[in-house]
Structure formats: C-alpha cells, structure tokens
Amino acid sequence: MPTSDDEQLPPGLALAWGLPVKTGRLGRKPSQSVEGVVEAAVALADAEGFAALSMPNIAKRVGLTANAIYRYVSSRDELLVLVAETAWGPAPDLETGPDQWRAAAATWTRAMIERCETHPWLPDLPIRGAPATPNLLRWTEVLLEALTGAGLSPAESLGCALLLDGYARRIASARRDVRDSSAAPVQSAAVARFLQPLLHEHGYPILASMMTNHEYDDGIGDDDVDFGLTRILDGIEVLIARRTQELRPRHTDE
C-alpha cells in the first residue's frame, strides 16, 4: 500500500511496482492505460530512436492531446522509468551452483547485449542510480546469486555486476553506432588504398600489417565480444580463487 513517503520516491517507482498513484487530476473516464502509453513509447523508440521519446510524440501516437497524456504519467522522467522496466523485461535464467558462475555471467552479459539489439535505444536511457524497479532488480539479483554462490561477497559481486553491465552497454552502443553509420567502412577498397601507404610512411607498421591481412576493421563481431568478455571473466575468476584460498583452513605444525 502507498505510504506518506510516496511523494519522496523517484518518479515512476511506485507505478513500476504496480502500486496506485494519486494524480490529483479529475476528468472523464480515461481512454488509455498506463500500460498502453508505455507500450506505445517503447514502439516509438524502436521505430525512431530515443530522441523521439517526447511527451507530445507519445501522446500523438496513442491519440491523446499533449495535456491528456499527463493523466497517465506525471512527467517524462516517470515515463522513462516505466519504459526502461518494460524494455529490459524479465531477467535471463542462469546456471546455478558454485561451478556455474562463469557460464551464468556470460549468459547474463550476452542477454544484456541481445536486449539492446532488440531495443537499440536502451543504452541511451539515463541512469539515475542503482536499479529499483522489479525487472531491473531481478537482473541484478540473478547475477549476484551466481557470483555470491561462487564465493564472492555481495559487495564484490555487485562490483563485478557493474563491470559486466558497463561492458554489455558499451558493446551494444558501439555495434549500433557502427551499424547506423553512413561513413565508408575501414575495410572498403577505397579506404584501404588511401590508408595503407600512409600507414607505412608515417610509422604505423603494425596497423598497416593488420589492414593488409584484413585483420583491422570497424565491425564488432561475436569473436570480439567473446574476447573481451573472456578477459573480464578471467579477472573475476582470479578474485574468486583468492577468496576461496582465504577461506581454506590453515594447518600449522604441532
């Protein structure tokens, strides 16, 4: 039930948890619902990008006047909280058990990247603090469960979660930017012909060799994602091994 503290909550938090919110607005029976407005906003962002998420644009999409949309959400900030909750959706199912943390963390990170491929504007949403809505908290909880089960403290697990979250968002953003770019790719014939003699002339021998062997391009393939993710997981594995070693009983000579 709502409490007297509701007015101090961040915009959209109570609605995200399915709690009623007093709008203080009177009028005729609503023709839409909060869920319908949020779904329309997600569809608009999918079609036109994050910049299109203005209250007038969403109102027009659902057949409301610019003022009437405020009967459903009190502000754009509130709407963005609900849009994020809907677009991220349910957390992935992860492997369980102390020996499954690595597979779980990899699944979680790839699921984040895939969700951003479905909704390319997700990395553009402002991050105003730690997750506080049901779906986003569940994404955090399932990864913390996997990492604490492997021997890390909750605080260490949260730090690792932030590291993996940042990696997933950066990869998703870079992939989107490359995909949407109108610039000629580095490996186009014209760019290669232009750059290769300059690279040799101005002292870039390693890059020149990579370009000659078609190893230097602007794409971010699955192999690139796996390489970076593996390095991060290797680092987490070192931390887990250290914590496991610290917990082992020490034997002293009698």
Q: How far is CA 150 from CA 10, 96, 103, 139, 222, in A?
A: 34, 10, 12, 18, 26
CB 121 within 8 Å of CB 49: yes
pLDDT at 40: 97
Tell me the percentage of the chain whose pLDDT exceeds 70. 91
Q: Report d(CA 100, CA 150) in Å as an integer.
A: 8
**Mean pLDDT, the chain, integer:** 90
- Asked whether residue 201 carries a pLDDT value surpassing 70, the answer given is yes
Higher pLDDT residue, 22 or 227? Answer: 227
Residue that has been written with the tokens 């992860």 in this structure: 94
C-alpha 245/C-alpha 21 separation (Å) is 51
pTM tops 0.85, yes or no: yes
Q: Where are the alpha helices (DSSP H) in 119-153?
A: 134-149
Across 13-27, 51-65, 92-106, 216-230, least confident range? 13-27
DSSP state of 201: H
Q: Is residue 32 a contact partner of residue 53, using CB atoms and an 8 Å limit?
A: no
Confidence of residue 119 (pLDDT cuts 50, 70, 90): very high
